[in-house]
Chains A and B, each alone.
Chain A
């Protein structure tokens, strides 16, 4: 029985590995994804596609288990009835119109008659394609094709929606519309899993991420969780920039801290300095006392490493 209870994780990987002959595509991945919007991040070859194809029931794990709504998804019609999938591939039945394409897939989902028409119309409308859906797919722009792929994925109101690079090829308006659609569905309780390699997009979309590298799950949780994990790592140096009235004087004070391993000046301006620390928590604990004791005026404090892209760079280098 397929469960859509919000208490249960919609997607569950339990020590799942996948081999392609001698090549490993996914290596002992364990994680759970619940309702809301989750981003799957990683460079090419990280295993994102394997992960997604296992969720969508196209591939089976070689070892371990993958469950979607409590059941193995491979060729499982019950799971697929609650799962929507927008693939990355740009392949279509080119002679069909957008409406025919969505209608055919809706037919295969078991809809007919008035409900079929209503669902097709509604999903096409939700992706902003109503006025262009009767044109042949072969003549569609990349963005229009992307929208139609999303339309076929949402036509049956799925509980789990998997979108593989859904913003590829979309213009800014299209991006905004699809992002709004994804966040709306997530807010309604749908489990939306989005794969992307464009980090700034993901950062704006959600702070709940799964980070993959070389088939392994490198990090998971919110951006904050990952930052906290990195803060606990004393092996990898982190950088904090400060704009302060007397940078050299303050630098001398900061260098007395065991957690500070170096300071650089004048990168952006004469009042700007960059502190390197191997223990950000200790550094931030000590910073207020040093500031008050020295009567420094700190105009700006930033940790560029907190940005997702920088975090990814650090994590990927570390592992």
Chain B
């Protein structure tokens, strides 16, 4: 019961005005762009499936999911440290791991809600309500839910274990997740996005001749060097999430979170 009340309080905190604006923006942005695309493109040149694929990959998987996961995942602990309010949490008679888990679940819930809602709205605006079924959003939604758990737990661990976790998280998203899948051999197996891509069963045709910059969109869309089955993807991401979450709970239960200048 205490955990539910704690989650409710954390949820209220997560929807404070500034955060709510960012969440709403990321929810509505893909749909707004899709709508504009639909309105401005010539009738015979508008391919809903292609537009949906581009936007769901470029704006939702590669941007909203990763950015929100970094922000909320690392923020579970680091935000409290930065605003120096962590002392109120750590001096309450609540096992630290429960505190962390409750706040983590809320962060995953928020990220999932934003990404799922953004995907549904995008499909509705691009395909139209009548053709919504053609979008086949099911695999995308599954991948997004699992992606928010996997990324969230990874960034939770960064937040509990490292100083400046947001910086490390952004380096991971825009460095590791961009470049590692492109390395030869089986390096793609070390990227979360490779597994999400396998789950979403999504391929975007990219003309290699265009080579429009090595961005995250291409990292997601380019066929990896290795084939990952959905079952392997599920297992790997769930395992990663469990290991990261449990490790984060252990670290949070044992680590001291007092800034040195405060302590002295």
Contacts and interface: CB of A to CB of B under 8 A. Distances in A.
Interface of A: 20, 23, 25, 45, 47, 49-50, 53, 56-60, 75, 77-78, 80-81, 83, 85, 87, 89, 91-93, 95, 104-105, 107-110, 112, 152, 156
Contact of A60 (B1, B85, B256): B256
A58 B264 contact: no
Interface of B: 1-2, 5-6, 9, 13, 16-17, 83-85, 87-96, 99, 253-254, 256-258, 260, 262-264
Contacts of A58: 87, 90-91, 256-258
17 contacts: A20-B260, A20-B263, A25-B264, A47-B264, A53-B262, A53-B263, A59-B258, A60-B256, A75-B253, A91-B84, A91-B87, A93-B85, A105-B88, A105-B92, A107-B2, A108-B92, A152-B88
B263 A50 contact: yes
A98 to B, nearest CB: 13
A80 B263 contact: no
Instruction: Enumerate the 9 nearest inter-chain pairs by beta-carbon distance, A residue then B residue, closest first.
Output: A81-B93, A91-B84, A108-B92, A80-B93, A77-B93, A85-B91, A107-B5, A104-B9, A87-B87
Contact of B93 (A23, A25, A59, A78): A78
Binding site secondary structure of chain B: helix
Contacts of A23: 264
Contacts of B260: 20
A59 B256 contact: yes
B256 to A, nearest CB: 5
A87 B86 CA distance: 11
Contacts of A92: 85
B82 to A, nearest CB: 10
Nearest to B260: A20
A118 to B, nearest CB: 16
Nearest to B96: A75
A110 B257 contact: no
Binding site secondary structure of chain A: loop
Contacts of A91: 83-85, 87
B5 A20 contact: no
A165 B90 CA distance: 19
A137 to B, nearest CB: 11
Contact of B263 (A49, A57, A83, A108): A49
Contacts of B84: 89, 91
Contacts of B99: 108
Contacts of B2: 107-108, 110, 112
Contacts of A20: 260, 263-264
Nearest to A104: B9
Contacts of A60: 256
Nearest to A20: B260
A112 B1 CA distance: 9
Contacts of A95: 16-17
A144 B217 CA distance: 51
Contacts of B264: 20, 23, 25, 45, 47, 49-50
Contacts of B6: 107-108
Candidate in B1, B16, B85, B264 with the most chain A CB atoms within 10 angstroms: B264
B83 A80 contact: no
Contacts of B91: 56-58, 80, 83, 85, 87
